[in-house]
Amino acid sequence: MFKGKKKNKKKQRGDVIGEKIMRSSSDVSSNREERPLPITISSPRRYTRQTSGSRHIIPADQIEAISTLGVGEFGIVQQGVWTNDNGQKIQVAIKCLSKERMQTGIADFLKEATMMHTVDHDNIVRLYGVVLDSSSEAPLMLVTELAPMRSLLECLKDTSAHPNFPVTTLCEYATQIAKGMEYLETRRMIHRDLAARNILVFSKTKVKISDFGMSRALGLSRDYYQTNFNVNLKLPIAWCAPECINYLRFTTASDVWAFGVTLWEMFSYGLQPWGGFSGQQILEAIDEPNCRRLEQPDCCPKEFYGLMLKCWENDPGRRPTFLEIAAMLPQIQPTTMTAERDSSNTGKDFLVYSEGDVVTVLDRK
């Protein structure tokens, strides 16, 4: 189990804002309003809109479900084939809203569809369209790109697949995720559930951000989104910044915190962050006065762990933006070297390598 590391940081209490309450390991609320948290929204950049295929209402008879991929918050997720208007057959993922969830989940389901409809980036899963079929067991369906290689978390947990995901590949994935999140940041959107389970692997060199079920768009005059406590509210506590748990307040800065935890998942090859901790224990660990942080994974480059610690600043205003992270990542990529001969030392404290092996340097000291 990874134990937290206490961060040597001066406490900056300021005013006490709101009473901190932990309802349970997954349900939290706040009793008083907090002042808006400072956050920097980066200047919009130009992104090229893809033109292959339009997003629209897809007739139900164009969709053929083949197999079940899993069960999501709103219903089952299936693999299928979409035969579009041009007769082209496209492998797709079909997220279904079951009839049982029509009364309670349709608003959030449609919010996800609306959110996905407005985004277009190479590192964000693309929405092809929506299926409306009142005669079906799933009257409402979202049709999206299909990831051939499952979620990043599933890939990382599969030890037989580890040779396909060396540290250098994970570093490249980190850059792609940061670019996708930078795009959302420029469009004033917050994801709220960034984690390795919601990163889909499309190839050995390509990942995309998925699952916009919790995402929200910020209004022009607001830099945060605040929800209200309800009995159905579930938060991914291990990925949440303190202000999310204490005040149910979400910003792009809280997405940055989750990005840091996602990096930790990646370089620990799928370990559970704060494994063995309850929700209450996680909050007590990460919040003031303890400010404990996840320890550096064995396979994590030193500079990447330094970035994680910046993402986990207790003060949201001190965390880097995704614009800054995307610019920083190319500069901290680990060095790789090719061995010119076999290693001469084979003791337990020495790295054993053969001629031609590629070695990634995690720490230059």
Give dist(CA 94, CA 195) in Å, integer. 21
Is the C-alpha dihedral spanning 129, 134, 135, 141 positive or negative?
positive
Residue 95 marked ligand-binding: yes
Q: Positive or negative, the Cα torsion across 278, 284, 287, 293?
A: negative
Alpha carbon dihedral 97, 190, 282, 18, in 10-degree steps, equals: -110
Buried/exposed 2-40: b ≥16 CB within 10 Å, e otherwise:
bebeeeeeeeeeeeebbebebeebebbbbeeebeebebe
* Cα dihedral 301, 307, 197, 112 sign: negative
Give 28's strand partners. Answer: 22
Residues near 88 by Cβ (< 8 Å), separated by ≥ 6? none
- Is 211 part of the annotated catalytic residue set? no
* Residues 6 or more apart in contact with residue 143 via CB below 8 angstroms: 58, 63, 80, 82, 92, 93, 94, 127, 128, 129, 130, 131
Residue 336: both structure tokens together? 């790789």
d(C-alpha 63, C-alpha 143), whole Å: 9
Take residue 46 and report the two structure tokens written for it. Answer: 């130009």
d(CA 18, CA 20): 6
Residue whose structure tokens are 């948290």: 37
Cβ contact 262:294 at 8 Å? no
CA dist 59 and 128 (Å) reads 12
201: which strand partners? 207
Catalytic residue among 193, 223, 342, 357: 193
Binding residues: 95
Catalytic residues: 193
List, as residue ranges, the binding site for ATP: 95
